[in-house]
Amino acid sequence: MTGEANPSAVEVVPSKQAAEPAYAPEPGTDAEDKVFYKVRIADPFIELHTGPGAGYPIFYVVDRGTEVSVIRRKTDWFRIETSDGKSGWASRDQMRETLLPTGDKFKLIEMGLEDFSQRKWNIGFTGGEFESTPVFSLFTGYSFTENLTGEFHFGKSVGDRSSATYYKGNMVMQPFPDFKYSPYLTLGLGEIKVDPSVILISANKEKNSFAQVGLGLQRYISRSFLFRVEANEYVIFSSGTSDNSEVIREWKFGFAVFF
């Protein structure tokens, strides 16, 4: 087989079974993630991946004229099953120009606010100030429920006379997850390592544990992206015999992608 696949890959085939899944849905998936309809490949071929992402290997190619069932959607990927039981994932780009029986384009539903409130994983980047020193951080999170998410953060603060690295685990509580502007509260614990030149924590050069509390606001933007801004307060505990602790304030904003 030669040539490249055109995005105009499938056309919808009217079928009395179109509303019936040809494949048993996976346990634990949300009903909103599932779509059931019959399609026929209209282009030379479409490629099926072993998972919902470009990084998963291509294991099968479905030829033109083959009738398949679309049984589930996960963000921009669709799970497809052939009549002989082969099941894999096709990208939204290959499904973009799907045709209705009338010849009109079948408009795929974009990721929306409902997907935002039902997301499971997110990964993002933020920047701001950590006690008047520039700070940048990477984070990833998993939503246990609509209202509760666990996050892990890695942050680096670098200034002319100071630098510090911290790791922390956060619990993020969202009282209104369905809001486009969704406020949240964070509680976390972590560890900070201060460079010897830093005088943020009484010139202590060792690692210090801390507790953190914060308030933030995140906004769904479009597709699978969100914007967030937050303010945090850290209580950094002395690692020596002294009972002294120091309060550090941080603000930052950034972007994340959810899936």
Distance CA 155, CA 191 (A): 11
End-to-end alpha carbon distance in the chain: 34
| CATH annotation of 10-109 | 2.30.30.40
pLDDT for 161-176, tens place per residue? 668 899 999 999 999 8
Rg of the chain over Cα atoms, rounded to whole angstroms, equals 24
Q: For 116-258, which CATH class?
A: mainly beta
Among 90, 72, 86, which residue's Cα sits nearest to residue 27? 72
Sheet holding 58-63, edge to edge: 10-12, 37-41, 67-74, 77-82, 87-91, 45-49, 58-63
pLDDT tens sequence across 208-238? 899 999 999 998 776 678 899 999 999 998 8
What is the number of other CB atoms lying within 10 angstroms of the CB of residue 148?
Answer: 13
Sequence ranges of the domains in the chain: 10-109, 116-258
Q: Compute the distance between CA of residue 179 and CA of residue 166 in angstroms, rounded to an integer.
A: 31
pLDDT tens by residue, the chain, 259 residues: 434 444 444 554 444 444 333 333 343 444 444 546 777 777 778 889 998 888 889 999 888 777 778 888 776 788 888 888 889 998 877 776 655 555 555 566 555 555 555 568 889 999 999 988 899 999 999 989 888 999 999 999 987 766 889 999 999 999 988 787 889 999 999 999 887 664 555 555 678 899 999 999 998 776 678 899 999 999 998 876 566 788 999 999 999 987 7
64 sits in the region (left: phi over 0; alpha: psi -120 to 50; else beta) called: beta
Residues 5, 8, 13, 19: what is their CA dihedral angle, to the nearest 10 degrees? 90
Which residues fall within 8 angstroms of residue 253, CB to CB, at 6 or more apart?
A: 126, 127, 128, 227, 228, 229, 230
Helix (H, G, I), strand (E, B) or coil at 28: coil
